[in-house]
Structure 1
Amino acid sequence: MDIIARNHIHVIGNLDAPQTLMFAHGFGLDQTTFSKVTPSFESDYKIVLFDNVGGGKAEMKAYSPKRYESIHGYATDLADIIQALELKHVTFVGHSVSGMTGLLNSIHYPGMIEKLILLGSSPRYLNDPKDGYIGGFDHLALNGLFEAMEGNYHAWAAGFSKLAMRNEDRPELANAFADTLSAIRPDIAIQVAKAIFYLDYREELPKVTLPTLVVQTTNDIAVPAVVSEYLETHIPNSRRTQVQTEGHFPQVSAPTEVIAAIQSFL
């Protein structure tokens, strides 16, 4: 399958620039989630945007339950894109779960990415009482989440969107997320959500050799602040910054702060 069509890839910005910025969206979103961020980099960087298979305008027939039973499938897709476009000097900006796909790519496909920016990312969402790790969810909470998704997916999407977006004074933000979340085929959404919420890549963190920026928001339902602290502690050559906005989507609710964080890191 043509990779450009598979991932609905768009290359914008300065096509002759030596440096490339790749933006990868999280669960329930598509590449338009970065529409308020990318204009600030278009004059100096080649910018690559794409949709993860299973969401957005990616090719639906490319979705395979076996390939995407874990997010390693998405890390492989990322390698496909970088190779197909012959990208060089790549800084990868991964929101939410896509931060982990970029991280895995950097380990298993060394040399493709030069810098990592993890925007609201987590190596494990499930608490681990054995070693005191706090991911933000326990088994009861996740069971309830998946029961709600399976019982009435669209009702769940409407409610979850408000919790995840926060910013109650701007309901249009949650409504927009609910729209993209609802557009995903429910069976695919449930499988991908399980792959995400049950992942555990804590042992991979020390293997990262790239300069890494960890970006944390306040009052994030999916990624509590202690998780970003964990990432900073366990990823060598990393640093953490906090943007002053609530919710899981700072590129939407506080794009100016996200732009400043990226520019400072670059």
Structure 2
Amino acid sequence: MDIIQRNHIHVVGDLGAPQTLVFAHGFGIDQTTFHQVIAPFRQDYKIVLFDNVGGGKAELKAYSPRRYETIHGYATDVADILQALELKNVTFIGHSVSGMIGLLHSVYYPGIIDKLVLLGSSPRYLNDPASNYIGGFDDAALTSLFEAMEANYHAWAAGFSKLAMRNEDRPELAAQFAASLQELRPDIAIQVAKAIFYMDYRDELPKVTIPTLVVQTTNDIAVPGVVSEYLEAHIPNSRRTKVNTEGHFPHISAPGEVIAAIQSFL
């Protein structure tokens, strides 16, 4: 299958620029959620946007339960995209799970991604009492989450979107996220969510060799502040910055804050 079609790839900005910014979305949303963030970078950078298979306008028939049983399948997709576009001097900006996807790519395919931005990302969502690791969820919480998804996916999406987006004074943001979640095929959404919430890539963090920016918000239901502190402590040559907004989607709720963080890092 054509990779451009498979991942609904768009290349914008200065197509002849020596540096490329690749923006990768998280679960339940698509590339359009970066439209406010990319605007200031269009003049000086080549910008690549794409949809992860199973979401957005990516080719649905490309979805394979076996390939995407873990997020390794998505890291392979990123390798396909960067190779097909012959990209060099890449800064990878990954939101949520796509931050870990970009991190895995940098470890498995070194020399292509030069810098990494982890926007509300986590190496593990499940608490690990044996190592005193706090990921934000215990077994009971995840069991309840998936039972709710399986019982009535659309009702779950409506409720979860409000908790994840926060910003109660701007209910339209949660409504937009709910609508995006509800466009997903429920069986695919549930499988991808399980791959995300049960993953554990803590052992990969020390293997990262490129400069990394960890972006943290407040009141993030998916990624508590201690997780961003953990990332900064375990990824060599990383630094953490806090943006002034609540919830799991700072590029949607506070694009100016995210733009400033990326510009400072670049």
Quote the Cα distance in structure 1 between the aligned partners of 2:164 and 2:182.
14
- Cα distance, 1:124 vs structure 2: 0.2
CA-to-aligned-CA distance 1:160-210 (integer Å, 9 cap, x gap):
000000000000000111111110000000000000000000000000000
- Cα distance, 1:112 vs structure 2: 1.5
Quote the Cα distance in structure 2 between the aligned partners of 1:107 and 1:152.
38
Quote the Cα distance in structure 2 between the aligned partners of 1:150 and 1:168.
26
Please, what TM-score do these two structures have when normalized by structure 1?
Answer: 1.00
For residues 207-226 of structure 1, the aligned pairs below 5 Å read: 207-226=207-226
Quote the Cα distance in structure 2 between the aligned partners of 1:235 and 1:227.
12
- Cα distance, 1:239 vs structure 2: 0.1
- Residue 74 (structure 1) aligns with: 74
Corresponding position: 1:54 with 2:45: no
Corresponding position: 1:134 with 2:134: yes
Quote the Cα distance in structure 2 between the aligned partners of 1:153 and 1:2.
31
- Residue 122 (structure 1) aligns with: 122
Q: Is the Cα–Cα contact under 8 Å of residues 79 and 112 in structure 1 kept in the other structure?
A: no
Corresponding position: 1:86 with 2:86: yes
For residues 144-159 of structure 1, the aligned pairs below 5 Å read: 144-159=144-159
Q: Which amino acid aligns with 1:263?
A: Q
- Cα distance, 1:22 vs structure 2: 0.2
Tell me the secondary structure at the aligned position of residue 49 of structure 1.
strand
Tell me the secondary structure at the aligned position of residue 35 of structure 1.
helix
The unaligned stretches of length 5 or more in structure 1 are none
- Cα distance, 1:248 vs structure 2: 0.1
Q: Is the Cα–Cα contact under 8 Å of residues 33 and 252 in structure 1 kept in the other structure?
A: yes
Quote the Cα distance in structure 1 between the aligned partners of 2:264 and 2:19.
15
For residues 1-266 of structure 1, the aligned pairs below 5 Å read: 1-266=1-266
CA-to-aligned-CA distance 1:87-120 (integer Å, 9 cap, x gap):
1100000000000000000000111100000000
Tell me the secondary structure at the aligned position of residue 114 of structure 1.
strand
Q: Which amino acid aligns with 1:144?
A: S
Q: Which amino acid aligns with 2:198?
A: Y
Tell me the secondary structure at the aligned position of residue 36 of structure 1.
helix
Quote the Cα distance in structure 2 between the aligned partners of 1:221 and 1:210.
28
- Cα distance, 1:148 vs structure 2: 0.2
Quote the Cα distance in structure 2 between the aligned partners of 1:169 and 1:32.
22
Q: Which amino acid aligns with 2:44?
A: D
Kindly report the root-mean-square deviation, in angstroms, between the aligned alpha carbons of the 2 structures.
Answer: 0.3
The unaligned stretches of length 5 or more in structure 2 are none
- Give the length in aligned residue pairs: 266
- Cα distance, 1:33 vs structure 2: 0.8
Q: Is the Cα–Cα contact under 8 Å of residues 92 and 116 in structure 1 kept in the other structure?
A: yes
CA-to-aligned-CA distance 1:240-261 (integer Å, 9 cap, x gap):
0000100000000000000000
Please, what TM-score do these two structures have when normalized by structure 2?
Answer: 1.00
CA-to-aligned-CA distance 1:189-237 (integer Å, 9 cap, x gap):
0000000000000000000000000000000000000000000000000
Moved over 2 A (4+): none
Quote the Cα distance in structure 2 between the aligned partners of 1:55 and 1:253.
21
Percent of aligned positions with the same letter in both sequences?
80
Q: Which amino acid aligns with 1:198?
A: Y
